[in-house]
Amino acid sequence: MIQKPRGTKDIYSEEMDIYNYIAKVTFNVMKKYGFNEISTPIFEKSELFLKGVGEDTDIVNKEMYTFDDKGGRSITLRPEGTAGVARAYIEEALEMKMGLPLKLMYNMQVFRYEKVQKGRQRQFTQIGGELFGSPNPYADFEIIKICMEILKELKIDKNIVLKINSLGNKESRENYKKVLAEYSDKNIEKYCVTCQRRRETNILRMLDCKEKECKKLNNDAPKIIDYLTEEDKNHFEELKKYLDTTKLKGEYEVDPYIVRGLDYYNRTVFEILDADKKAILGGGRYDGLIEKLGGKSTEAVGFAFGGERVKDIILEKYTEKQKQELKQKVDYVIVKEYGVENNIYANTVAERLREKGFVVIDELMDKSFKAQMKNANKIGAKKAIIIGKEEVQNGVLTIKDMESGEQIQIDKEEI
């Protein structure tokens, strides 16, 4: 048997219903804020991610699915959504076509060659949004608010933690990087090997190291918040002011260790973690990306969450009844003896019901009455329409309520 590649999944039945539900709820929330859906290619030229995500990041260093196509071009399966959407924004001149601020949402498959474990796959779903054109903290606030609203609508907003931080603009970061370098150099041999490398390549990433010893060292490290320029500080303070006017007052944490793994972020960054401290969602501002990719300088802020992580939380938190409600509903199952005359009769009934919007499953096999009833139960049909010789002869239908077992007979024309 040929098996699927490691780190990928087949999705069907209950899980598929949950995915569709997550996407629907998310997009419904985002539509209320004026987001439009965008779809970009699954693969892009590799240079997009080298430039966009950053050459010193884990994603680009270790995790990209990169290959030469038959024309000898270096191609990469997208490891995240933002770079592709930013490329499309520039290439398609979306500023001209759609105006600013522009809000784009997506539901996409992304690919990272990661160490596979629970909640960490090599192909996974990112659902998110990007907002182009506003430099203001009120836009950051709107994005964070949308994230919290999505989790609330999905009924998984209990026991989650919103963490925010500011990485400032270049000047703040350069100031801070110097201080951090001085601090870490004093103890450099105590850091893990990866952090010793990060010290040289991407020093901010030292802050989100999960190694115990590094964490301890980071606890005493200088905090970026204390090195922000006046402008950056005001930007962050304004964002907090807005958050403090909502139910989030007192519910979010400023966490100086949130730096996010990608190079393009500046100023606001944020993450939402579940009760086990696993990241559900991440986002932030990336004012420099569009220009870096060759577009006109355009401020932007966005977010994305992992569909699988949200799905797992739903599977864990939802009651059986809640899960049942997400299932694709079957209104009617037609139970009949297979045969041309019966099929024609059944088809007219099914057609009429489907026109009215009902889900109708007509019998296509040649199963026994008992097997058909069993199947109707299994797929959770609400009613069975029984079509036998007698029904066809008299132009009637026998309708059985699958829950109460009650049976009635009606004229076929009444349906």
**Which chain residues interact with ligand AMP by CB under 6 A?**
80, 112, 114, 119-121, 124, 126, 261, 279-282, 304-306, 308-309
- Is the separation of the CB atoms in 75 and 68 below 8 Å? yes
Q: How far is the CB of 52 from ligand AMP (least distance, A)?
A: 12
Q: How far is the CB of 83 from ligand AMP (least distance, A)?
A: 11
With respect to ligand AMP, which residue has the nearer C-beta, 302 or 383?
Answer: 302
Q: Cβ-count burial of 198 within 10 angstroms (0-12 exposed, 13-18 middle, 19+ buried)?
A: buried
- Is the separation of the CB atoms in 165 and 269 below 8 Å? yes
Phi-psi region of 130 (alpha: psi -120 to 50; beta: other; left: phi over 0): beta
Q: How far is the CB of 140 from ligand AMP (least distance, A)?
A: 16
With respect to ligand AMP, which residue has the nearer C-beta, 119 or 222?
Answer: 119
Q: How far is the CB of 163 from ligand AMP (least distance, A)?
A: 12
Look up residue 123 and give its two tokens: 């192909």
Closest among 212, 213, 236, 241 to 223, alpha carbons compared: 236
Look up residue 92 and give its two tokens: 């398609």
Phi-psi region of 369 (alpha: psi -120 to 50; beta: other; left: phi over 0): alpha
Q: How far is the CB of 257 from ligand AMP (least distance, A)?
A: 14
With respect to ligand AMP, which residue has the nearer C-beta, 316 or 341?
Answer: 316
With respect to ligand AMP, which residue has the nearer C-beta, 122 or 235?
Answer: 122
Q: Output b/e per residue, 349-372; b: 16+ Cβ within 10 A.
A: bbeebeeeebebbbbeeeeeeeeb
Q: How far is the CB of 84 from ligand AMP (least distance, A)?
A: 13
* Partners of 221 in the β-ladder: none
CA–CA dist 110, 122 (Å, integer): 8
With respect to ligand AMP, which residue has the nearer C-beta, 115 or 378?
Answer: 115
DSSP E strands in 228-378: the ranges are 252-254, 266-273, 279-285, 300-306, 332-336, 360-361
With respect to ligand AMP, which residue has the nearer C-beta, 52 or 306?
Answer: 306
With respect to ligand AMP, which residue has the nearer C-beta, 87 or 309?
Answer: 309
At residue 103, the 3 state secondary structure works out as strand
At residue 132, the 3 state secondary structure works out as strand
> Which residue is nearest to ligand AMP, using beta carbons?
306
Q: How far is the CB of 283 from ligand AMP (least distance, A)?
A: 8
Q: How far is the CB of 183 from ligand AMP (least distance, A)?
A: 26
DSSP E strands in 167-262: the ranges are 252-254
With respect to ligand AMP, which residue has the nearer C-beta, 56 or 114?
Answer: 114
- Is the separation of the CB atoms in 375 and 333 below 8 Å? yes
With respect to ligand AMP, which residue has the nearer C-beta, 314 or 350?
Answer: 314
Closest among 335, 395, 397 to 366, alpha carbons compared: 335
With respect to ligand AMP, which residue has the nearer C-beta, 266 or 342?
Answer: 266
Residue type for position 201: T
Q: How far is the CB of 198 from ligand AMP (least distance, A)?
A: 16
Based on DSSP, count helices (H) and strands (E) in the chain, helices before strands.
Answer: 16, 16
- Is the separation of the CB atoms in 178 and 238 below 8 Å? no
Q: How far is the CB of 81 from ligand AMP (least distance, A)?
A: 8
Size (the chain), residues: 415
